[in-house]
Amino acid sequence: MKKLLELITEEMEKAFSEAGYKKEYGKVTLSNRPDLCEFQCNGAMAAAKEYHKAPIAIAGEVAEKASFMEKPVWSEITAVAPGFLNISLSKSFLKEYLDTMFTEFKYGLEEVARPLKILVDYGGPNVAKPLHIGHLRAAIIGESIKRICKYMGNEVIGDIHMGDWGLQMGLIITELSHRKPELVYFDEGYAGEYPKEAPFTISELEEIYPAASARSKEDEAYKEEALRATFELQNGRKGYIALWNHIMEISIADLKRNYQKLDVHFDWWKGESDVQKYIGDMVSEMKKDGYAYESEGAIVVDVAEESDTKEVPPCMILKSDGAALYTTTDLATLKERRLLFDPDQVIYVVDKRQEMHFVQVFRCAKKTGIVRDDIALDFLGFGTMNGKDGKPFKTREGGVMRLETLIADINEEMFRKIKENHDVEEEEGRETAKTVALAALKYGDLSNQATKDYIFDIDKFTSFEGNTGPYILYTIVRIKSVLHKFFEEGGELSEPAVNEAGSPSEKELELSLTKYNSVIESAYEELAPHRLCSYIYEVANAFNRFYHENKILTEEDPEKKVGYISLLILTKELLEECIELLGFSAPERM
């Protein structure tokens, strides 16, 4: 279904043609002055130069033609100084447009003409280290990007890309060997089977890693041991591999639980360890093809380009001790992704401080032919989540805030607010609080442009008023409750059809709904979930104004009442569709 602005533009182009001007001048946009009109066309200003005529004269002629058009899309079109065309949309045209939205697939959204295979790399937790809020943004933004790409008709895979192969594993192994040296995993002569049961629980694991990490910073010999253990693990020492498997199993179960709470779901649970097998051949090939060369003992590939304004250092593939790096793993991952999925596009949702890393990886992958020439590699770097003091968000004690704690805190606060609002059973209240808290958290994040830093403000995010998740949900719940009453009172609706708007607030709501297809499309093209947020905020505001200014259930004209109810249904469905794309949902009551 064509976008509303396209339809109005087409008509305006006709008007320009009929008035004797090039149709290219007929582009219509949303009004800059919503107090004066709904849409505007500035074409006469530009045409004035070509036709050597006063813009207002051209605008006047076009407006004249436009007023006499058959079945016009506008109800009023006026030429105003110095040469603008102000447009009000025809109410019957608007009604028709909305009624068509009801019947169209995805409310008239046009899916992409050629579906792409898209891989979204997001989440990126580090196994055995507790999830912290730095990983929250990756999860929230990535999940929404994935859903938007899918909704547009693409074939999409979400890959968690765990950090599961680094020094943290060597640290845990070392610490464990100090605490429990008697375990068979450390006996190099051991030839039997390793126990099925892990020698630690998740909470022990969570305590072991920070302890080991802290000690390695003070104790040089200990650090050497951990590096050695990492090296031995990576070279297949059996006892260490067995331990690694335990660490993975326990951590992944814990990660799954946490991501489940966030309603974040991955198609692939792959990690850095999965691609180690490609590294040897990959590096040899890069050398053979003359891309990789030795520099100060390390193996590097030049990736600087003439147009660079900032220095882009060579991409290091192997360190002088032969060890692979973060870059190496990301390159090998692209190799594997090509083998397993052959994506047209890979989108990385990662902290923006890693931008240079990705510039190097992308250039190196293209240069060395690891990826297809025509692949799109996109880095969606996000900013930091700060506390109210403007510094990276910390616990009250100044430590790194764990994701679980943060979620528990916001659930608690939401529960308190819900209880304050009305009397509710403990159990139901807790469930509702979880749903609303997730919306608060996700909306609080997604309503900001991803690249920007933002301030995590629990009071603001959980508020029922203003530009917040709970406000959006509150609006949906309000609509649900009106609809519920309507049907409970025996109301019937065979085929939804909205009214030709009677009041300004009804028209405003109708107008806001028409933007659905164009908003989703731009959120997709710009990889910008915040566009969806501003849209649903606009719709929610328009709805609430409409709700306060019109009597819906007590409307006496049955046809008009059905028109209202239809409008409510469409509003609710579009809002729900959008929050689904943002990654949260609405409760029945709140």
Q: Which residues bind ligand ARG (CB under 6 A)?
A: 121, 124, 126, 161, 163, 330, 348, 350
Q: How far is the CB of 339 from ligand ARG (least distance, A)?
A: 16
CB-nearer residue toward ligand ARG: 132 or 480: 132
Q: How far is the CB of 319 from ligand ARG (least distance, A)?
A: 18
Q: How far is the CB of 302 from ligand ARG (least distance, A)?
A: 21
Q: How far is the CB of 361 from ligand ARG (least distance, A)?
A: 8
Closest CA to 138 of 425, 348, 305: 348
CB-nearer residue toward ligand ARG: 421 or 451: 451
CB-nearer residue toward ligand ARG: 259 or 516: 259
User: Mapping DSSP to helix (H, G, I), strand (E, B) and coil, where does residue 319 land?
Assistant: coil
Q: How far is the CB of 124 from ligand ARG (least distance, A)?
A: 3
User: Mapping DSSP to helix (H, G, I), strand (E, B) and coil, where does residue 395 land?
Assistant: coil
How far is Cα 472 from Cα 581, in angstroms, rounded to an integer? Answer: 14
Closest CA to 152 of 109, 117, 121: 109
Q: How far is the CB of 330 from ligand ARG (least distance, A)?
A: 5
Q: How far is the CB of 253 from ligand ARG (least distance, A)?
A: 19
Encode burial over 373-408: b for 16+ CB neighbours within 10 A, e otherwise: eebebbbbebbbbbeeeeeebeeeeeebbbbeebbe
Q: How far is the CB of 364 from ligand ARG (least distance, A)?
A: 14
- H or E element in which residue 121 lies: strand 117-121
434 by Cβ neighbours in 10 Å (0-12 / 13-18 / 19+) ranks as middle
> Going by C-beta distance under 8 Å and a sequence separation of 6 or more, which residues neighbour residue 28?
5, 8, 9, 12, 39, 40, 41, 87
CB-nearer residue toward ligand ARG: 164 or 445: 164
Q: How far is the CB of 128 from ligand ARG (least distance, A)?
A: 12
How far is Cα 393 from Cα 412, in angstroms, rounded to an integer? Answer: 19
Whose tokens are 């809002």? That residue is 575
Q: How far is the CB of 112 from ligand ARG (least distance, A)?
A: 25
> Going by C-beta distance under 8 Å and a sequence separation of 6 or more, which residues neighbour residue 203?
none
CB-nearer residue toward ligand ARG: 121 or 206: 121
How far is Cα 93 from Cα 74, in angstroms, rounded to an integer? Answer: 8
Rounded to whole angstroms, what are the CA distances from 479 to 33, 339, 472, 573?
29, 48, 11, 10
Q: How far is the CB of 164 from ligand ARG (least distance, A)?
A: 9
CB-nearer residue toward ligand ARG: 333 or 566: 333
CB-nearer residue toward ligand ARG: 274 or 521: 274
How far is Cα 401 from Cα 406, in angstroms, rounded to an integer? Answer: 7
Q: How far is the CB of 489 from ligand ARG (least distance, A)?
A: 54
Rounded to whole angstroms, what are the CA distances from 229 to 169, 192, 244, 296?
8, 21, 11, 26
CB-nearer residue toward ligand ARG: 337 or 572: 337
DSSP calls for 261-309: HTT---SB--BGGGGHHHHHHHHHHHHHTT-EEEETTEEEE----TT-S
Q: How many CB atoms lie within 10 A of CB 356?
A: 12
CB-nearer residue toward ligand ARG: 324 or 519: 324
How far is Cα 62 from Cα 14, in angstroms, rounded to an integer? Answer: 9
Q: For residue 40, what is the DSSP state?
A: E
> Going by C-beta distance under 8 Å and a sequence separation of 6 or more, which residues neighbour residue 177?
183, 186, 229
Q: How far is the CB of 126 from ligand ARG (least distance, A)?
A: 5
User: Which residue's CB atom is positioned nearest to ligand ARG?
Assistant: 124
Cis peptide before 82 (omega within 30 of 0): yes
Alpha-helical runs (H) found in 526-557: 529-549
Query: What are the tokens at 20?
Result: 């004797």
